[in-house]
Chain A
Amino acid sequence: MQPIKSIKDIPELDLFTGGSSVCAGCGPSMGLKLALKVLGPKTVIINSAGCMTLLPLFPNTPLKVSWIHNAIENAATTAAGARHGLDALGFKDMNVVVYAGDGATYDIGFASLSSTAIKNERVIYICYNNQSYGNTGFQCTTATPYGSETKTTPRGKENPIGNTNIHKDMLKLMGVHRVYCATASLAYPVDFLNKLNKAKERNGFSYIELLGTCATGWNFDPRYTIKISRLAVRCGMWPLYEIDDRKLSLNKEFKQLKPVDEYLQLQGRYKQLPPDGVTKLQSLVNEHWAQLNEFNAKRYV
């Protein structure tokens, strides 16, 4: 497959039509629309319960590809079953693609994901990471960043920080499964789609994590979805990198990261994060960025 060099090369093919019931500025739905451009019509999406579950609402669907929604914690193993079934029936050319949120991926579905990855099932797993249980109204997951307020980590007298946990390093965890894994951002569609193309050509499992920029939960003006997706990368909050055969490659390198404050200021979820919280968050970002740079082009896991 030819690499996509610029947005002009992105296929015009559109398998995600209008009429979905997602929020204005919804990042995850934009991600799926983009992804389907390279995945193509011979695709079955396996969805876990979450925001995207509301894309098809009987008897309508905005999708021109097949879709299976099972439960929340089992998208990966449902996909494994679909893969085995399709192979047995002779449809080896179908792409089996999971589109699951971070709650379903980092938390409740982690066992299912881990077993599917370690067996290297021919499945592309895309986690749309909106850093929360979004569909239930923005509660904390183990993907929620330090300092983010959520409905289950509200700021208050006894805890001015909001979420005090440091989020799970999912790429590293998936990396030790020795599968292809990568991060992606809506602001860098060429990078995202090339990673998907890479995953498509693998004869095994791939894990791609897309920042699921969420205007409703993160509380920002919906017109800023792409701006925030770009700032997340520029500030080091969402570095773009991949782990292939346990080797790390940074896909967007910057001599100097922008301060995280620039990213935080645009979002209601970080409003009123006290200065020491911002400092701690900045130090976490710096530490991760330094680690990525240290291991760039080297064995990482």
Chain B
Amino acid sequence: MGNTFFLHPSLLFFVVLPVIPWLKGIWRQAVVLLVPLLAFTLVLGMHPGIYGTVNINGLSLVFGRVDKLALVFANVFALMSFIGAIYGLHVKEPWQQVAAMGYVGSALGCVFAGDFLTLFLFWEGLMVFSSALVFLRKTRSSSRAGYRYFLVHVAGGLLLLGGIFLHYHQSGSIAFVRFDQESAGLAQYLILAGFLLNAAVPPLHAWLPDAYGSATVVGSVFMCAYTTKTAVYALIRSFPGFEILIVLGVIMALYGVVYAVLENDARRLLSYHIISQVGYMVTGVGIGTALSLNGACAHAYAHILYKALLFMGVGGVLEVTGRSRFSELGGLWKYMPYTFVFTLIGGLSISAFPLFSGFVSKSMVISGAWASHLQWAALGLTLASAGTFLHTGLKVPYFIWFWRDEPSFSPPEKEAPLNMLIAMALASYYCILIGINPSGLYKMLPFDATYHPYSGAHVMASLQILLFTMLGFFLLIKKLYPEPKVGLDLDWFYRRGASWFMAFCRNVLRMLDEQVIKNLHKTLALPLLRGLARLSAWNDERVIDGFVDNSAAAVLRLGDHMRVFLQPGILSRYVARTLTVLAGIILLALYLR
């Protein structure tokens, strides 16, 4: 233990976990709000150092590695848990809050983990608690999505664990530190694959829209913040400067945009934009300069807040109207105006409008790409940012709140619940605060690079891109009308693949069993078995029985002889034999003396 006081913030979350279901009403609300606040205060008061080291069989597990990189993520994780707690305050049944608390605790555990085993422990915690958030929606399709989510993440966890073991075998160390691109081998790439799956990097991404579109309203607000950003943190920690990440990141940023065009469900659209946004962070990690790594951190921080804000807005609509498909929505501006304004703030933030949080973070990554002379990457990311505004800034608000003059269903009577609106207001406040005054965020950044987003040329260029995108949106709006369709994505392989596997089992394997195996059994196995049985019966009858019978008869005959000889029934013979024996004993005794 270090000299300074250290209390692991995850501990708070895990300690109250078993208590929450027993608390009722206001008491539960108080606990659910207080724990994140307390955790946030703890994180704010932390000093860099190594705390909470536990030795097990010569392996030292580090639960509390605190440095600037860990702190910037812990800070936003704790802040988000407070906002999310407010958002979920109205939920009557306790299990979503339990799952969310465990989820946040696990994410914080990952952030402070100083070795791979501790990281893996909390990594699996993330998986368990977040899949609970999917299952708790309690619909048929959500439990299916939950199983898929769980299985995919089990596979990812195994990749990670395999990598960790191999790495330990090779290097004898489980320290969660930076890897070198030149010396990276199978072990490192397995770990990387585990991280990339959680970061939803194509082709390991299809779980994300599947699960986040199916989770509970509160659940997806939490989920959009933690799993992918924990993975981004892990990538920054271990894989900065891995060039493959630049390519993957740019592909990711554009991939999400293309699928967002096709998407009809608002929450799935936002999910594809998570993939797109995390693409910026992954690119930043791949470039690996101080500026771009700072950009990745800053973008993760800003992204957690505005993406949660967007999920809160769309979730509010889902909560009130029970709908999240664009083709069913539209015309809500009169009925849910506050939710509209907050969602719009989220949309402007993710689109990197000047004065909103995305502007000061996204541009760091793009500037990092320019500064490293990666023009194709910078242009690709800029193209993706036009797409981001197109969908999240324009398509989401337009097709939910406008488009139709009146909703196609009976209009909602109320706005979203008050606690939801408060949570949205708080997130909006932070989005604007970071946008107006980025120095607070920049001071937290772990690497040494200065950056000034508000230069005349930069603001001008951004405004041009954004507003001309808007022009394009309104000119081409007919093409964007929502279509009630789903876009094929790579989850096809395991969703259709699973039904093919079932069909294979049902048809091919069963046919094999019934036709081939059964006939083989009849024509070959049964006669063979019968022959063997006959042989052993013969053996039993002739050899074994004969032997046993003969030896029994012999014993019987011996017994008869003995009886005739030893027990004749004549007194004089008994006396004579007794005296003979006695004489023998006496003679023996005399001889021995």
Q: Do A and B come from one complex?
A: no
A interface with B by C-beta (< 8 Å):
none
